[in-house]
C-alpha cells in the first residue's frame, strides 16, 4: 500500500536542510552507529529496507499478529492516501490493544527472509577493504523493525547510518511510531521524502570530507518512493531498481516520456548477485 498510492517527484533542494540535525541521529544517540563517520571511503551505497533487504513489507508482516491475522475493516478504512505513517500508528495502537507483545512483534520481524542474494551482497560489502563502501539504509519502515532485523541477521555494524521513522515501545507496551520529517515534495508521503534525505546526506558528508565527493554513489531499492532519490544521482552513479517493481517501472516510464532526463546508470536486479557483479567491476577500476 505504501508504494502503490503515490508517485514521487524531484523537488529543488530544501534551503536549510543541510543544517538540520537528522531525526534518526537524535533518537539513536548512544548507539554504536553514532560514532563519527570515517571520511576516507571511496563509494557510498544506499539501501531501502522493505522488499529490498527483506523480501516482504515489514508493516504487512506484523499484521499477522492481529487476531485472526487480519485487521478489522473499520481500521483499514481509516487509511488516507499519502498519510500512511499515521495509518500505521493506528495499526500499532490496535495491535497493542489486542495484547500483541514486543517479543511477538520482534520475532515476526526477525523471521522475515532476506531478498535473494542480499546476504551475499552484504557479505561482499563487509569483505571489502574498509575504505571502499560507506553503507546507509534509508527506509519508510521504522527504527525498531530495521534495527531488530539487521541485528538478528548480523549486518547491523555494516550500516553506518539508518534513516527511517523513529519507533520505540512505551511503558504500556505499544510501539510508538512517529514521522521522520516533513518536507515540500508534492508527491511523496507527508512523513518521508527519500530524495531530501539522500541529497542532505551527500551534501553534509562532502562537507565533512573537506569537500571531497564520493567517486560513485549507488542506490538499491524497489519502491515508488525509491524513484524520487534516484533522480538526484549523477551520470557517474548507478541506481539498482528491483526488476519489475514500481521503481523500475517509473524509471522506464521516464525514459520513454522524457529521454535523457534520468541521469544515473540503471542496472536492474532480481538477486543481490546482480548488484555484486556491477560493484565488482567498479571496485577494480583505477581511480
Ligand atoms: Mg521498499
Ligand atoms: Zn519526494
- Predicted confidence at residue 2, as pLDDT, reads 54
141 φ, ψ to 5°?
-80, -125
Q: Where are the domains of the chain?
A: 17-28+40-56+114-284
Q: Which ligand is nearest to the CA of 12?
A: 2
Tell me, yes or no, if 237 is annotated catalytic. Answer: no
The set of long-range contacts for 65-70, using a CB threshold of 8 Å and a minimum separation of 24, is 65/95, 65/98, 65/100, 65/104, 65/105, 65/108, 66/94, 66/95, 66/98, 66/100, 67/98
pLDDT in tens, the chain (287 residues): 554 433 344 333 333 333 333 444 444 433 444 788 999 999 999 999 999 999 999 999 999 999 999 999 999 999 998 899 999 999 999 999 999 999 999 999 999 999 999 999 999 999 999 999 999 999 999 999 999 999 999 999 999 999 999 999 999 999 999 999 999 998 799 999 999 999 999 999 999 999 999 999 999 999 999 999 999 999 999 999 999 999 999 999 999 999 999 999 999 999 999 999 999 999 998 65
pTM equals 0.89
Which numeric CATH code is attached to 17-28+40-56+114-284? 3.40.50.1000
- Give the Å distance between the CA of 9 and the centre of ligand 2: 5
Catalytic residue of the set 50, 132, 226, 274: 50
Tell me, yes or no, if 50 is annotated catalytic. Answer: yes
- Predicted confidence at residue 82, as pLDDT, reads 86
- Give the Å distance between the CA of 12 and the centre of ligand 2: 10
Count Cβ atoms below 10 Å from residue 16 Cβ, excluding itself: 7
- Give the Å distance between the CA of 281 and the centre of ligand 1: 26
Q: Which ligand is nearest to the CA of 197?
A: 2
C-alpha cell at 21: 540535525
- Give the Å distance between the CA of 255 and the centre of ligand 2: 18
CA distance 243 to 264: 16
Amino acid at each position: 500500500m505504501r508504494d502503490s498510492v503515490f508517485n514521487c517527484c524531484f523537488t529543488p533542494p530544501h534551503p536549510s536542510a543541510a543544517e538540520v540535525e537528522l531525526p534518526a541521529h537524535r533518537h539513536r544517540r548512544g548507539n554504536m552507529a553514532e560514532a563519527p563517520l570515517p571520511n576516507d571511503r571511496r563509494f557510498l551505497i544506499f539501501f531501502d529496507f522493505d522488499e529490498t533487504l527483506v523480501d516482504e513489507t515489514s508493516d504487512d508482516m506484523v499484521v499477522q499478529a492481529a487476531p485472526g491475522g487480519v485487521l478489522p475493516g473499520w481500521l483499514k478504512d481509516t487509511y488516507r492516501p499519502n498519510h500512511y505513517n499515521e495509518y500505521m500508528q493506528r495499526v500499532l495502537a490496535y495491535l497493542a490493544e489486542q495484547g500483541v507483545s514486543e517479543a511477538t512483534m520482534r520475532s515476526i520481524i526477525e523471521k522475515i527472509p532476506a531478498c535473494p542474494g542480499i546476504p551475499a551482497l552484504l557479505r561482499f560489502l563487509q569483505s571489502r577493504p574498509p575504505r571502499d563502501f560507506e553503507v546507509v539504509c534509508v527506509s519508510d519502515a521504522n527504527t525498531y523493525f530495521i534495527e531488530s532485523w539487521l541485528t538478528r541477521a548480523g549486518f547491523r555494524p555494516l550500516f553506518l547510518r539508518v534513516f527511517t521513522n523513529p519507533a520505540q515501545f512505551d511503558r504500556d507496551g505499544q510501539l510508538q511510531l512517529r514521522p521522520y520529517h516533513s518536507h515540500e515534495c508534492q508527491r511523496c508521503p507527508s512523513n518521508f521524502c527519500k530524495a531530501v534525505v539522500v541529497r542532505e546526506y551527500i551534501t553534509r558528508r562532502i562537507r565533512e570530507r573537506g569537500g571531497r565527493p564520493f567517486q560513485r554513489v549507488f542506490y538499491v531499492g524497489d519502491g515508488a518512493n525509491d524513484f524520487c532519490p534516484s533522480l538526484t544521482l549523477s551520470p557517474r552513479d548507478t541506481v539498482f531498481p528491483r526488476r519489475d517493481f514500481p521503481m523500475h517501472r517509473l524509471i522506464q516510464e521516464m525514459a520513454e516520456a522524457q529521454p535523457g532526463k534520468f541521469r544515473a546508470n540503471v542496472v536492474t536486479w532480481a538477486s543481490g548477485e546482480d548488484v555484486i557483479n556491477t560493484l565488482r567491476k567498479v571496485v577494480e577500476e583505477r581511480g
